Amino acid sequence: MEVVFSYHYSNILIFLIGMVIIIYLLSRYCAKKRAIRFGNFEILERVAGRRILSFSMIPTLLRILALSLVIIAISDPVLIYSKPSLNSDYVIALDTSSSMLTPDFKPNRLEAAKEAALDFIAELKPERVGIVTFSGKAYVKSELSSDHLQLEKIIKAISIEPPAGTAIGDALISAASLMQNSPRNRTIILITDGRNNVGIPLNQTLETLKKNGIRVFAIGIGSKEALNYTIPQAQELNATVAEFPLLDEESLKFIANQTKGMYFRAENRSVLTDAFRASLSYEEVRMGLSLYLLLAACLVLLVEWGLEITKYRIIP
């Protein structure tokens, strides 16, 4: 967030502010000279009290404030800030292979990713979101939808799915197909802890993504070290390999960069949450401040006028 001034008026602004300071100093000097001419301060103090000796201070400061506000308003200030764009579609592609049960996140990677996805969706209203899960094949859990309550139910119900493997390419193609006819900005948020080892090659996937102008924000979740952890649930899914391969960061980085997205390595919940938020599309908003400053100047002048005719009224 920043405030910028019109270049055309910038020099005038500096000049006028300097003039205000000079006028104020001159007015204070003249006020002191007038006070010296009134010799009998004891009588004046008994009549009006000590405050009469500095009665002009507050009204003068208010006038200077009002004039300064007018000067700044003339300089055409503009407040510039960013806000989430309301012209984007998102698809969350979540890895549901058995390695996502690894407990380096509490209780495991999958549940941590689901919680981050739920927080992300809560910030997106009323944007449309689709959901894809993948292990050895990809599953479309939800088409693009703005029914966020239903989306939350779907995410909470996600669990580990067969067959064994990590079909990242299939997941990206499925996610892209959900947004194929969308006229809006399109973003895929990919969360995985493995490497593409089955299904469509990533190079072929990349061509489809670039052709359709889809950005990919890839999130690699989990420890950087190879794990040798036996997961009881994996046996039920015929996934008997206990040693999980390292995350293929280079491929994920390449896809993210080629689609004008970003890659994140999430080793804790904080980075995971930040990675989701980074995928938000933002638009620049410019708001002129001149009218508000002029209204503020009028208000200050009304206060100054009220003080002049009441508390600081000059004694005849």
What mean pLDDT comes out for the span 102-114? Answer: 93
DSSP string, 171-224: HHHHHHHHTTT--SEEEEEEEESS---SSS-HHHHHHHHHHTTEEEEEEEES-S
Q: Tell me how far apart the alpha carbons of residues 269 and 116 are, in angstroms, rounded to a whole number.
A: 8
Residue 241: what pLDDT?
45
- Look-up: residue for tokens 């700044």? 72
Q: What is the mean pLDDT of the chain?
A: 82
Confidence band, pLDDT 50/70/90 cuts, at residue 74: confident
Average of per-residue pLDDT across 131-148: 96
Query: What does residue 90 show for φ and ψ, rounded to 5 degrees?
Result: -130, 145
Contact 166, 198 (CB under 8 A): yes
Q: Indicate whether 282 pLDDT > 60.
A: yes
The CATH class of 86-280 is: alpha beta
Is the model's pLDDT at 31 over the cut of 70? no
pLDDT score for 91: 98
d(CA 242, CA 185): 40
Mean predicted confidence (pLDDT) in 143-154: 96
From first CA to last CA, the distance across the chain in angstroms is 51
Q: What pLDDT score does 53 carry?
A: 43
pLDDT of residue 45 exceeding 60: no
- CATH 3.40.50.410 domain locations along the chain: 86-280
